[in-house]
Amino acid sequence: MIPMALLRLLLIAIALPATLIGGMPPLLAAETSVATLATGTHFHGIAVAADDPSRIYLATHRGLYAVARDGGADRISANRNDYMGFTPHPSDPNVLYGSGHPVGGGNMGFIRSRDKGKTWEKLANGVDGPVDFHQMDISKADPDIIVGMSRGFQMSRDGGRSWKMIASGPEGLIDLAASATDTNTFYAATRRGLVKSKDGGRSWKPAHIVQRTATMVHVGADATVYAYQIGTGFMKTSEQILSWHVLNNSFGHAYMLHLAVDPENAKLLYAITSNQRTRTQAIVTSPDGGKTWKVLGTK
């Protein structure tokens, strides 16, 4: 069982309210660093730009940032909205998708940027929306298929313009990932472990024999599945054979929430971690496929 203190911190990290959290410092300047951002906002998503692997997208509680490998950060969104859900288009480097809350409160619905995150437009409200997708992903097998969790497991088959409620979704959902090979297959990290759906999200079955809380799941373009499970660590497998291999279990009091893979070097990974003891977040990077990690920008 996951300790209650850790569960409370985890729920805060993945489901922040629309209003600003009390005690946060004033809005940050556009030019800053990841370390400074970590003291004044929360991180909700990460991705590597397909056309420039030195550019790392960081979705935060106060805007979308471009992060460099030395740890520097520039806000690229024209707004300071809360990007709770975030995912890039798998083949068009100009297109990003998101969801969350505007500065003034409420929900943004499902939104799209066609200029690498500078400006955004709402494509749809979603079912019973405007939705607030805290978990969402796009299918690499068919980029017109996008899924998100808001009052249930929702799916779009036309690039986000219209949505259908599929089912209630897996219980205790923390993270969501779409298959790279099959449009009907999805993976979920939940408080009861890793689960998998092969029928488009209608039903879910265990994807790992150990049913511990899983905080992250990610499917790479090469059909490698990555996950983080508390007490087990960072692990991977392939979609063809779900035989998990633990790569690292030395994160101490930290756990992973989001992962990104360099599109030109599958061994170069980036992850958002949250430390349950210090209540801080960080971006860590691995040059060897997840065996070793260091904080971004450190030697």
Query: pLDDT digits over 238-267, tens only?
Result: 999 889 999 999 999 999 999 999 999 999
pLDDT of residue 29: 40
Q: What percent of the chain clears pLDDT 90, i.e. is strictly above it?
A: 86
242 and 227 in contact (C-beta within 8 Å)?
no
pLDDT confidence band for 296 (50 / 70 / 90)? very high
Arithmetic mean of pLDDT, 228-246? 95
Token pair of 182 as six digits:
């099959």
Q: What is the mean pLDDT of the chain?
A: 91
- The better pLDDT of the pair 78, 3 is held by 78
Indicate whether this model's pTM tops 0.85: yes
Q: What percent of the chain clears pLDDT 70, i.e. is strictly above it?
A: 90
CA 279, distance to chain mean position in Å, is: 18
pLDDT of residue 2: 52
- 3-state helix/strand/coil string of 122-147: EEECCCCCCCCCCEEEECCCCCCCEE
C-alpha torsion sign, points 195, 258, 152, 93: negative
DSSP character string of 205-268: EESSSS---EEEEEE-TTSEEEEEETTTEEEEEESSS---EEEE---TTEEEEEEEEETTEEEE
Is 283's pLDDT higher than 70?
Answer: yes
pLDDT of residue 93: 96
Nearest residue to 42 via CA among 249, 285, 289, 279: 279
Nearest residue to 85 via CA among 138, 41, 129: 138
The helix (run of H) or strand (run of E) holding residue 86 is strand 82-88
Arithmetic mean of pLDDT, 174-178? 98
Using a 10 angstrom Cβ sphere, with 0-12 exposed, 13-18 middle and 19 or more buried, the burial of residue 245 is exposed
pLDDT, tens only, 13-49: 444 433 333 333 444 444 899 999 999 999 999 999 9
CA 204 – CA 78 distance, rounded (Å) = 39
Under DSSP, the state recorded for 51 is T
Under DSSP, the state recorded for 22 is T
Token pair of 74 as six digits:
């520039």
CA 90 – CA 47 distance, rounded (Å) = 11
Arithmetic mean of pLDDT, 41-69? 96
pLDDT of residue 298: 86
Is 149's pLDDT higher than 60?
Answer: yes
pLDDT, tens only, 188-225: 999 999 999 999 999 999 999 999 999 999 999 999 99
pLDDT confidence band for 10 (50 / 70 / 90)? low
> Among 1-5, 63-67, 108-112, 243-247, which is the least confidently predicted range?
1-5
Arithmetic mean of pLDDT, 268-297? 95
pLDDT of residue 31: 85
pLDDT confidence band for 135 (50 / 70 / 90)? very high
SS3 content of the chain, % helix, strand, coil (to 5): 5, 45, 50
Is 91's pLDDT higher than 70?
Answer: yes
